[in-house]
């Protein structure tokens, strides 16, 4: 009888081991998947990237000239230009992320959504982390709502909630302020674009429209003392759920401590 029980326990243990090993192998295989859009965006030659970076710089300089005048302004940036900027700025703007293994960021802009991905190498992990997001204006001037969906490592789904704190911390180190609006469909990242800055010739500068369309990001807005009072967002507007405007930090946001530095969540 005892020998029979030992055999059963051994068989169960072996079965669990095989299942666990199979699950680990399956998970590893899932992380090796590379999204088609990332392969396509990453295929641009270095010379193309350099030229796109120059065009982006010219567009930015033109935008700076336009927003320095009282009245309305508009601008358009292609995903090719933005990718060129990301390739150059990721190591400079977010050196910790680069040091932790993030590299080769790419985006593809489609109608009403943006596909984004980055190569992630950490320890024995080598995968492409990707997501899609939609950007909407909010009732607060210059506060943009990012609705992130389909966050994945390869084709393996990842819970955005696990990475909220790390995202907030890394953004803060890059001088980007993020709040979180907790909704039934998941957390929405709220990012504020400064309307006043010492580098602005005139202020405030207010974004009134933001659209993603077939490979391009389209922006328009207004500069001048009445820009805030006359703010009328054009297009889809995100309605706050848990976030309360006027509070410096809403209770649902991951808290960022200046006294203790912790690394962002990594993929395990």
pLDDT recorded at residue 130:
92
Mean pLDDT in runs of 10 for the chain (268 residues)? 42 42 52 89 70 78 82 90 81 79 90 90 87 93 92 89 86 85 92 80 87 91 86 91 74 42 47
> Are 208 and 76 spatial neighbours (Cβ–Cβ below 8 Å)?
no
pLDDT recorded at residue 218:
92
Could you tell me the pTM of the whole model?
0.76
pLDDT recorded at residue 51:
76
**From CA 160, how far away is CA 215, in angstroms rounded?**
25
Dihedral of CA atoms 171, 176, 179, 184 in degrees, nearest 10, equals -70
pLDDT recorded at residue 27:
55
pLDDT recorded at residue 188:
93
> Are 170 and 97 spatial neighbours (Cβ–Cβ below 8 Å)?
yes
pLDDT recorded at residue 140:
93
């Amino acid at each position: 009888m005892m020998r029979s029980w030992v055999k059963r326990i051994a068989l169960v243990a072996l079965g669990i081991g095989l299942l666990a090993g199979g699950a680990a192998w399956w998970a590893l295989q899932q992380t090796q998947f590379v999204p088609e859009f990332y392969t396509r965006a990453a295929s641009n030659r270095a010379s193309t990237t350099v030229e796109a970076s120059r065009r982006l710089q010219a567009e930015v300089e033109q935008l700076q000239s336009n927003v320095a005048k009282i009245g309305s302004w508009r601008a358009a940036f292609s995903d090719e230009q933005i990718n060129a900027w990301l390739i150059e700025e990721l190591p400079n703007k977010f050196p910790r992320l680069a040091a932790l293994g993030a590299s080769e960021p790419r985006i593809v802009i489609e109608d009403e959504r943006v596909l984004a991905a980055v190569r992630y190498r950490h320890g024995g992990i080598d995968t492409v982390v990707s997501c899609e997001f939609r950007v909407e204006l909010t009732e607060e001037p210059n506060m943009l709502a990012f609705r992130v969906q389909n966050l994945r490592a390869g084709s393996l789904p990842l819970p955005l909630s696990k990475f909220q704190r790390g995202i907030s911390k890394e953004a803060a180190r890059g001088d980007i302020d993020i709040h979180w609006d907790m909704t039934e469909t998941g957390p929405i990242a709220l990012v504020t674009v400064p309307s006043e800055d010492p580098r602005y010739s005139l202020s405030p500068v207010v974004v009134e429209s933001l659209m993603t369309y077939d490979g391009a990001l389209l922006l328009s807005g207004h500069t001048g003392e009445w820009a805030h009072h006359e703010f009328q967002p054009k297009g889809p507007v995100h309605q706050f759920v848990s976030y309360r405007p006027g509070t410096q930090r809403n209770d649902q946001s991951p808290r960022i401590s200046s006294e203790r530095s912790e690394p962002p969540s990594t993929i395990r």
